[in-house]
Amino acid sequence: MTRLLSFTLLILLYSSSPADDRPNIILIMSDDMGWSDIGCYGGEIETPHLDSLAKDGVRFTQFYNTGRCCPTRASLLTGLYPHQAGIGHMMEDRGFPAYQGDLNRECVTIAEALKPAGYRTYMAGKWHVTPYRADALEKPDVSNWPMQRGFDRFYGTIHGAGSFFDPNSLTRDNRYITPENDPEYQPEGTWYYTDAISDNTVRYIRDHAEHHKDKPFFHYVAYTAAHWPMHALPEDIVKYEGKYDGGYASTREARIEKLKTLKLLPDDWEVAPQIGDWSEVERKEWEAACMEVYAAMVDNMDQGIGRIIEALKETGEYENTLILFLQDNGGCAEVFGRNQQVGPLERPGKPTLPAMGRDELQTEMIPVQSRDGYPLRRGPGVMPGPYPEVEIGYGENWANVSNTPFREYKHWVHEGGIATPLIAHWPKGIAREGDAFRVTDQGPLHDGTSHLIDVMATALELAGAAYPKEKDGNEILPLEGTSLVAALKGEPIKRGNPIYFEHEGNRAVRDGKWKLVAKGSKGPWELYNMGNDRTEMNDLIESESAIGEKMIAQYERWAEHVGAVPFHTLRKKP
């Protein structure tokens, strides 16, 4: 009788327990995009779905990344500074723990932290926190791949960049695949990586609703748009034909005016200088086409985000899902593919090389040919867009437009390299008014200073999850970030410590309204009052020397804390 009564009580307790009302969390990140590229942050590119999320959610105006792709991903995933996670630079070992180029075991990912709390975890897109070995394709070391770092499902790429029509290191779960031999995803039209990331995310959302409806989920969506190469679909490119024929200045001026209208740029701020003179551009049609294709890449990503939103609505998860959108670094000024001509200027009438086999893996970041046999083409005048064999970027002048109104680019830690939009949308959880919000016609703005390290802390608070002190016998470093849950309610961010940056010797400290910053490990320190000069045009290092000295000391203590060393002293480990 006692056992029967206990069993009955358990049944009643289970049947009457409330449904798990913790939010789903979808973390969406784009690649190599400037602060003002998307519509709700000043851009002319059509991003209606992101704009809608922003209007019905909240936009953060002073959110920061690390200025480069893989350190950003390491910091975002772990809630630590990238050096603490082992990725102070790129995927190469430079002989120091902070620069080992591989996600270490002194950290846990958001997925690893949320799984013990009952979350299902999914990822689609770019991993780039462990080395990719093209010489180990048969038996790759998967020990640091997504499914070994907490994710239940993974579709994407291990490496950091590659073709949008045939990316190297394309992977499903723990197995390398090709676009042609993957039985789980064969689109009707052209296979395009941005679409593939979006569509597989939609699939995971629907599968979760069918098989795991009783659990909340975390989904990391890591697009490679709009990283070079400039690859896009014809139907997306046609929307922007002629859009940039007026050149850099006219596009940039329109962004400046829109930024002011959106209350993102005060009228009295001096804007960073224009880079590039359109009147001196020799190949104007080609140069405009590069930006047209870039815009098409961003547009396609936004379309995919629209499909993700629709899947959430179809499955009844939209109201209780926190969607966060951000970017991994600023616009990219690299001269990728824009110098010496390689291959023919125009596409041959038919393929000139043998086609690749259905199961033949693409191993190169810059493929020597397309899968159907067209040879690599790059250099000035080689038109970008729907051609898989073309490998070029959009260059410094358009990157300057992308980063309007800020200085510098990806790699550097001036605002153009590290400032990113952060859109937060959660119908059940975000306030519409609050003391820390600036209310605008396009939705509330939050001006609190925040960083990638804050995302883990936010996810843990929302999930009611415990951050581990150890995992698998390894001691886990304490979190560095501050939860943004209060900020979602319109309250100030209660940050106790400054925010720090170091990448390739570029260094910075953000403490309240002050920012200390330097270019290169030997470059002089600069000091800016970000309250009235976030564009970093008026250096105060001499007139405010006491503040500068204090912040230099802060940086030096932090560098010792995380293991950051002067970049010029590092050498690649043999």
> pLDDT tens digits, residue range 558-573?
999 999 999 988 887 6
pLDDT at residue 19 in the model: 65
CB count within 10 Å of CB 349 equals 6
CB count within 10 Å of CB 523 equals 12
Distance between start and end Cα atoms, the chain? 71
What is the chain's mean pLDDT, rounded?
95
Residue indicated by tokens 């990391």: 220
Question: What's the predicted TM-score (pTM) here?
Answer: 0.95
pLDDT at residue 10 in the model: 31
pLDDT at residue 134 in the model: 87
Phi, psi of 507 (to 5 degrees): -135, 150
Whole-angstrom distance, CA of residue 548 vs CA of residue 527: 7
pLDDT at residue 568 in the model: 87
Residues 92-114 have a mean pLDDT of 96
- How far is C-alpha 426 from the geometric centre of its chain's CA atoms? 20
Query: Three-state DSSP class for 158?
Result: coil
Whole-angstrom distance, CA of residue 57 vs CA of residue 48: 14
pLDDT at residue 8 in the model: 33
Give the amino acid at 21.
D
Residues 419-427 have a mean pLDDT of 98
Q: Evaluate if residue 350 carries a pLDDT over 90.
A: yes
Residues 14-31 have a mean pLDDT of 78
Q: Strand 58-64 vs strand 445-451: parallel, antiparallel, or unpaired?
A: parallel
Residues 68-92 have a mean pLDDT of 97
Closest CA to 38 of 385, 402, 534, 446: 402
pLDDT at residue 20 in the model: 87
Query: In this prediction, what percent of the chain has a pLDDT beyond 90?
Result: 94
Q: Among positive and negative, which fits the CA dihedral 298, 300, 301, 305?
A: positive
Where residue 441 falls among pLDDT bands split at 50, 70, 90?
very high
Query: Three-state DSSP class for 333?
Result: coil
Using the CB atoms, write b or e for 268-297: b if 16+ within 10 Å: ebebbeebbebeeeeeeebbbbbbbbbbbb
pLDDT at residue 276 in the model: 96
Query: Three-state DSSP class for 78?
Result: helix
